[in-house]
């Protein structure tokens, strides 16, 4: 059998054996996971966190199977990465083909078509019909760094405006751009300069209706920019159209278009960080599409390549072309295997219509979570868009953050084979990021476990 045929055969075996069903055969963690977790502790840096104490042996679509054989429902997608499902068939096929053709040349040494094709596709699917160009790198943080580099080079200005609750990565510049101290920044300074943080309109914790919050926030932010920085010194306004780690905070309608207009009027590059909200997650290809916001630059990673490390900056051709030759790059950026995976991912989203599927998943999530919120006043708010939904837990009758309840619920769900992720500056948010190929049955099963969790609290 040829290697290709063998790999294909192996994949078919995996596909036919990993049933999309929750199944517990041991306690979580089971004995084999416990054994492997001992090795994890001994061999890996204590600086690494862990969301669920199991060790994974295989995964397919929305099921993770651990080394003890437990089948766990994945409502996190590896933090919004496997939107097309784990080991999606078009991703696997293209990766196998690519890895057998060549593994690396370095695009800035000897270019290849995969990189060019991914850029062509990104230029097409990102918001706006204007001429666009792209750059590929390895991680979300690296893409954010490059977007800031490009904006500064283009504007010949230095200041970068960011927001409360923002998360943009863990490198030195992106730590500075990120809002939350523990765990991301504590003890890791000194941080990069010329970063200015603005209030974020957070409807649940602000006073007034959407329209008044939007106008209050825009007034406050533009005034602060004028008074504290000077608009003429601002290179970029950087924002997640729906905040991820910060707690799935959805700004009120009108805020993003207003902010983008202000940027345009003042020669400021408007950068949308869609690392978590992109690739069909919110029921549009990108969260900016919801209000037809066309960012000057858009930053992508996570959902872009079905789990392979790839990230991108796409944007206005004049901005992207303003950098001198060799001013951008990197050894691995746009690795050919990751590019093959991205092409398989985007093909899957388009051919299987996962944008619509995200809306269907969103409708199920929203109605189930709203029903839970009616029964359990500990749920202060249900929010999100499409398959990017969250619940914020509080002490009933107040808006006081309830991080304790979040840990108890998460632990209960884990013990029953449902993987959920937390979020929020106040650690009191549970977020739902299921793979967009999850079946209704699997999703409803996971939600029934969540309901038991609340009932037992
Ligand atoms: C995860 C994330 C990043 C950082 O991406 P990495 O690939 O982990 O470097 C940046 N921005 C947002 C909005 C993210 O969710």
Fold type of domain 91-351? 3.40.640
Confidence class of residue 9 from pLDDT cuts 50, 70 and 90?
Answer: low
pLDDT score for 428: 98
Number of other residues whose CB lies within 10 A of the CB of residue 289: 19
pLDDT score for 107: 98
CATH annotation of 3-87+354-456: 3.90.1150.10
Query: Ligand 1 center to residue 129 CA distance, Å?
Result: 26
Closest of 396, 381, 394 to residue 428, by C-alpha: 394
Query: Ligand 1 center to residue 379 CA distance, Å?
Result: 27
Ligand 1, atom 15: closest residue by C-alpha: 276
Confidence class of residue 38 from pLDDT cuts 50, 70 and 90?
Answer: very high
Query: Ligand 1 center to residue 260 CA distance, Å?
Result: 21
- DSSP-assigned beta bridge partners for residue 270: 237
| Mean pLDDT on 392-417 | 98
Q: Which atom of ligand 1 is nearest to the CA of 144?
A: 10
Cα dihedral sign, 75-77-82-87 = negative
Given a cut of 70, is residue 13 above it in pLDDT? Answer: no
d(CA 110, CA 175): 33
Vertex 370, ends 368 and 374: CA angle to 5°?
Answer: 115
Confidence class of residue 7 from pLDDT cuts 50, 70 and 90?
Answer: low
Buried b (16+ CB within 10 A) or exposed e, 327-366: ebbbebbbbbbbbbbbbbbbbbbeebebbebbbbbbebbb
Q: Which of 172, 276, 281 to mutate for ligand 1's pocket (most ligand atoms within 8 Å of CB)?
A: 276
pLDDT score for 234: 99
Least confident of 4-8, 18-22, 78-82, 242-246: 4-8
d(CA 15, CA 230): 57
| Mean pLDDT on 395-413 | 98
Query: Ligand 1 center to residue 177 CA distance, Å?
Result: 11
Given a cut of 80, is residue 379 above it in pLDDT? Answer: yes
Could you report the per-residue pLDDT of 380-389, keeping only the tens digit for each? 999 999 999 9
Given a cut of 60, is residue 105 above it in pLDDT? Answer: yes
SS (H, E, C) 20-43: CCCECCCCCCCHHHHHHHHHHHHH
- Averaged pLDDT score across all residues of the chain: 96
| Mean pLDDT on 73-82 | 98
pLDDT score for 22: 98
Q: Which of 140, 142, 388 to mutate for ligand 1's pocket (most ligand atoms within 8 Å of CB)?
A: 140
- DSSP-assigned beta bridge partners for residue 272: 239, 298
The ranges of the chain annotated as CATH 3.40.640.10 are 91-351
Ligand 1, atom 6: closest residue by C-alpha: 140
Residues with CB under 6 A from ligand 1: 139-141, 144, 167-169, 240, 244-245, 273, 275-276, 301-302
Closest of 343, 345, 334, 300 to residue 112, by C-alpha: 334
pLDDT score for 15: 52
Least confident of 4-18, 98-112, 211-225: 4-18
The ranges of the chain annotated as CATH 3.90.1150.10 are 3-87+354-456
Number of other residues whose CB lies within 10 A of the CB of residue 217: 25
pLDDT score for 176: 98
CA 3 to chain centre: 34
Query: Ligand 1 center to residue 345 CA distance, Å?
Result: 18
Given a cut of 60, is residue 14 above it in pLDDT? Answer: no
Cα–Cα distances in angstroms (integers) from residue 402 to residues 63, 299, 377, 393, in the given order: 29, 32, 12, 5
């Amino acid at each position: 059998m040829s290697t290709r045929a063998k790999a294909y055969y192996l994949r078919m075996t995996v596909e036919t054996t990993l049933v999309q069903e929750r199944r517990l055969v041991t306690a979580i963690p089971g004995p084999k996971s416990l054994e492997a977790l001992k090795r994890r502790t001994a061999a890996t840096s204590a600086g690494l966190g862990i969301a669920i104490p199991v060790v994974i042996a295989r995964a397919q679509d929305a099921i993770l199977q651990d080394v003890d054989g437990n089948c766990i429902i994945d409502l996190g997608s590896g933090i919004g990465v496997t939107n097309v499902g784990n080991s999606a068939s078009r991703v696997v096929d293209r990766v196998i083909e690519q890895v057998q053709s060549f593994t690396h040349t370095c695009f800035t040494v000897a270019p290849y078509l995969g990189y060019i094709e991914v850029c062509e596709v990104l230029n097409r699917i990102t918001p706006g019909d204007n001429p666009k160009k792209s750059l590929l790198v390895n991680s979300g943080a690296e893409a954010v760094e490059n977007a800031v580099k490009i904006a500064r080079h283009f504007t010949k200005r230095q200041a970068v405006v960011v927001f409360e609750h923002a998360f943009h990565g863990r490198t030195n510049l992106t730590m500075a751009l990120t809002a939350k101290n523990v765990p991301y920044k504590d003890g890791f300074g000194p941080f990069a300069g010329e970063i200015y943080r603005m209030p974020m309109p957070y409807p649940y914790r602000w006073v007034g209706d959407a329209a008044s919050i939007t106008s209050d926030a825009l007034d406050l932010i533009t005034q602060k920019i004028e008074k504290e920085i000077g608009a003429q010194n601002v290179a970029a306004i950087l924002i997640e159209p729906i905040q991820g780690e910060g707690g799935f905070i959805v700004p009120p309608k009108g805020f993003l278009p207003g902010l983008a207009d202000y940027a345009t009027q003042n020669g400021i590059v408007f950068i949308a960080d869609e690392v978590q909200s992109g690739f069909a997650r919110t029921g549009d290809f990108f969260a900016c599409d919801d209000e037809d916001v066309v960012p000057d630059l858009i930053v992508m990673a996570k959902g872009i390549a079905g789990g392979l490390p790839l990230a991108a900056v796409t944007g206005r051709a004049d901005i992207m072309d303003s950098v001198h030759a060799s001013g951008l790059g990197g050894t691995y950026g746009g690795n050919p295997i990751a590019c093959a995976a991205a092409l398989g991912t985007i093909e899957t989203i388009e051919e299987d219509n996962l944008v619509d599927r995200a809306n269907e998943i969103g409708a199920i999530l929203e109605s189930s979570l709203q029903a839970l919120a009616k029964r359990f006043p500990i749920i202060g708010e249900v929010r999100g868009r499409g398959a990017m939904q969250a619940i914020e837990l509080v002490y009933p009758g107040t808006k006081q953050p309830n991080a304790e309840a979040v840990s108890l619920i998460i632990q209960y769900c884990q013990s029953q084979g449902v993987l959920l992720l937390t979020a929020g500056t106040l650690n009191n948010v549970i977020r739902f990021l299921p793979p967009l190929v999850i079946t209704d049955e699997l999703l409803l099963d996971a939600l029934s476990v969540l309901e038991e969790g609340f009932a037992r609290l």
